[in-house]
Chains A and B, each alone.
Chain A
Amino acid sequence: MSLLRLDAISLSFGGLTAVDGVSFAVERGEIFTMIGPNGAGKTSIFNMISRFYQPSEGRLFFEDIEITSMPPHQIAELGIARTFQNIELFDNATVLDNLLVGRHRHRTTRIFEDILFLPKVRRAEYADRYRVEEVIEFLDLQKYRDLVIANLPYGVRKVCELARALCTEPKLLLLDEPSSGLNVEETDDMVYWINDIRSEFGITVLMVEHDMTLVNRVSDRVLALNYGHVLALGTPHEVAHDRAVIAAYLGT
C-alpha cells in the first residue's frame, strides 16, 4: 500500500487548467521530489493534498483512506504536515509557543479541562514540552527558543516552520521549497536534516524544490511536471537525462 496516492488529479480555475490528470504514488519511507518550472502545478498539487484547494477531478488517497474532500484540519489528524512557501508562522508568539501549537493533534485534554487547568492538563503540558524540546535539539533552535518570531531572520524562520511541522509527528511531511531563501551553508544543513528526518524519525518526505543539487543529493525519486502534466518519474539520474525534461526545464 502506498502512503499517498494521487489518482488522475485535475484542477481548473476559471478557464485555466493548473493540473491536468496527474497520477503518482509516494511510498512509505521515501523522499519524493516534484520539480518543474513555475506554473507547472507543483504548489497546486501540494495545496490539494493539504486540502486548501479542491480538485476538480480525480481522487486522493492517504494510506488507502480517501481524503479528496476532507477538511484541512482532519488531514493533520491523519498524519500529514506541511510547510509553506511564504512562511506562515505565528508572528507574535515565541518559537516555543509556535512549536507547542504544532502538538495540537496529540492533545488529550478537552477545552473545559483546559479552562480549569486540571492536573492532567499540566501533565499533558509536560509531555508536549518534552517532545518539543527533542525537535528543538534536533534542529539546533535552542538559542531562539524564547524569542518572538517577528524578530527572527528569514533563515531561522524557515527552520522554525520545519520544526513546527515535525512537532506534529507526521507520517508524511510536505516541504514547499525548503531551500528557497537559504544560503549554501543553510541548504547543506537542510540536506542533513531531510535525510535524518527520514532515517531517524521514519517520516516520508514529499518536496517541491528548484535547487537541483539539493534534489540530487536527497531524493529517492523525482517527478517532473510541466503545464500541469507529468513529464517524467524516476530516480534523479533518470529524470535529469529524460529528453522531455531537459527540453522543458533543465535547458539544453
Chain B
Amino acid sequence: MRPIFQTDYDQDIRLMRHRGYWWSYGTLLLLVLLAPFVVGSYLQSQIVFVFIYSIVGVGLLILAGFTGQTSLGHAAFLAIGAYTAGYMQRLGVPFLVYLPLSVILSGAVGALVGFPALRLSGIYLVIATIAFGFIIEEVAARWESVTNGNDGMRVKPIEFFGVTLGREGYGFYYLCLGLLMLVLLLALNILRSPTGRAFVAIRDSEIAARSIGVNLAVYKVVAFSISAAMTGLAGCLYAHKLSFISPEMFTLLLSLEFVIVILIGGIGSLHGAVLGSIFVVMVDPFLGYLKDDVPRTIGKLAQAFGAANAGAIQDTLSAIGGAAGLKGAIYGVIIILFIIFEPYGLYGRWLKIRLYFELFPLYKKATFRRQKTYLKSERNR
C-alpha cells in the first residue's frame, strides 16, 4: 500500500494522479504505438476495431454508465456517422471537413433524441431507444438517394493533403489511436468537472439533483448529444475501416454488442470501454480458434493417449465449434455469467486483483460483495 498525503487540490484534479500513473499508462502507450511493427497484419486490423469500439464504448459509458440513461440504440448513431462520411465523400467533400461533420450531425441527432427522452426513464427509455434504432435502420434502407438503400455504399480510403490512408495501413491505425486518445481525454475532462458530477448526480438521484439546481433537461440532452457525437466519430472511422456499409450492419444486434462492451468491461470506469472492446473484438478470432485449432490439439492429445476414436472426437468438437450461432450462445452465456458473478466487469476484476496484491495477505473477498438489497420498486424512482 502506498499512503498518499494530500497537500494540494491538484492531486485530486489532475489526470495523472501520481507517478505510478505515468509509468503504467506510459508503458501501455508505448506498447500500443509499437504494436503495428510487431504483430501481424490481422491482429493490427483487430486492434483498430478495438479502437473504434472503444470510442463507442466511451460514448455509451458517458450516457449509460455516468448519466444513467440506458440506450440500446447506439448502432443508429454509428450509422449516422458512417453514412454522413460515405455520402459526403461521394459528394467530394474533403476528409477534414466530413469528419467533424459526422460528429456534429450525430451530436445534433443525439440532442433531438435527448429531448423526448427527458420524459422517459428506465425500461421506457430502453424501449424508446430500441425503437429509434429500428427506425434509423429503416431510413437507411429507404433513403436511397443518400444511402443507396439496401445495396450498400462503397467508402473510399481516407485522403487528405494528397496522403491516402488505406484501411490496413499504419496511418489509419495511428489516426484511430489518436482519435481514441482524444475522446478519452475529453471524457476524463468531463468526468472531473462540474458537468460530469452533474451527470452522476442525475444517475444516482434525480430528485436531489433538481433540488441542488441541476437543470435535468439541459444535462440529459447534453449527455445524449456528447454520447451520440462520439459514436458518430466512431461511425466515420467504421465506414472507412469496412470500406462498405449497408443498413443491415446497423441492427439491434450491433447496439447490443456495444452494451456488452461496457457491461463486460465494467460500467463504472472508462477503462471498461477499452477492456470490453478487447473482449468483443476478440470473440470472432477466438471462435475461429475453437473451430480449428482446439479440436486439432485435443485430437492430437487424444491420439497421444492412445484413444481409438481420436478422429471422431476431433470431428465432433469441430462441429460444435463451427456451429452457426455459437457466437450467440457464447455471448449469451458470458453475459449471464458476468452479471451474476462479475457485476463490476473486467475492470472490476482487475481492481480486485490489484487490491489483493496491495493488501496481501489481508485481502477479504467481502470487500466487493454487494449488499443483497431487496427489490425496491423502480416505479417510484
Contacts and interface: CB of A to CB of B under 8 A. Distances in A.
Direct A–B touching, Cβ under 8 Å: yes
A126 interface: yes
A90 B204 contact: yes
Given A73-B215, A97-B200, A52 B207 contact: yes
Interface in B161-202: 186, 189-190, 192-198, 200-201
Identify the interface centre among A73, A102, A125, A129: most chain B CB within 10 Å of its CB. A73
A50 B192 contact: no
B13 interface: yes
Contacts of A125: 9, 13, 192-193
Interface stretch (A10-18, A24-32, A80-88, A201-209): A80-88
A73 to B, nearest CB: 5
Interface residues of B, number: 32
Nearest to B208: A88
B194 A109 contact: yes
B189 to A, nearest CB: 4
B216 interface: yes
A50 B203 CA distance: 20
B200 A93 contact: yes
B40 interface: no
B195 A73 contact: no
A77 B192 CA distance: 23
B213 A104 contact: yes
Identify which of B193, B197, B213 gathers the most chain A CB atoms within 10 Å of its CB.
B213
Given A109-B194, A126-B9, A104 B214 contact: yes
The A contact surface, by secondary structure, is: helix
A25 to B, nearest CB: 22
A101 to B, nearest CB: 5
B207 A90 contact: no
Interface string A91-135: 111001100111111010101001111000110111011100000
Contact of B9 (A103, A107, A121, A129): A129
A121 B188 CA distance: 14
A73 B207 contact: no
Contacts of B192: 117, 125
Contacts of B196: 114
Contacts of A117: 189, 192-193
Contacts of B222: 111
A164 B194 CA distance: 15
B375 interface: no
A88 B198 CA distance: 14
A105 B207 contact: no
B214 A73 contact: yes
A234 B29 CA distance: 69
Given A73-B216, A97-B197, A97-B200, A115 B211 contact: no
B26 to A, nearest CB: 21
Contacts of A89: 204-205, 208
A58 interface: no
Contacts of A102: 212
A101 B9 contact: no
Nearest to A76: B213
Contact of A84 (B200, B207, B209): B207
Contacts of B211: 50, 52, 72-73, 75-76, 81-82, 84, 88
B210 interface: yes
Given A73-B213, A90-B201, A129-B9, 15 more contacts: A52-B211, A71-B210, A73-B216, A76-B212, A76-B213, A82-B211, A88-B208, A90-B200, A90-B205, A92-B268, A97-B200, A104-B197, A105-B212, A111-B222, A117-B193
10 contacts: A75-B211, A76-B213, A84-B208, A92-B203, A101-B212, A104-B197, A115-B186, A126-B9, A164-B208, A164-B212
In the complex, the 6 A-B pairs of residues with the closest C-beta atoms, listed nearest first: A76-B213, A114-B193, A90-B204, A105-B213, A88-B208, A117-B189
Interface of B: 9, 12-13, 186, 189-190, 192-198, 200-201, 203-205, 207-216, 222, 226, 268, 371
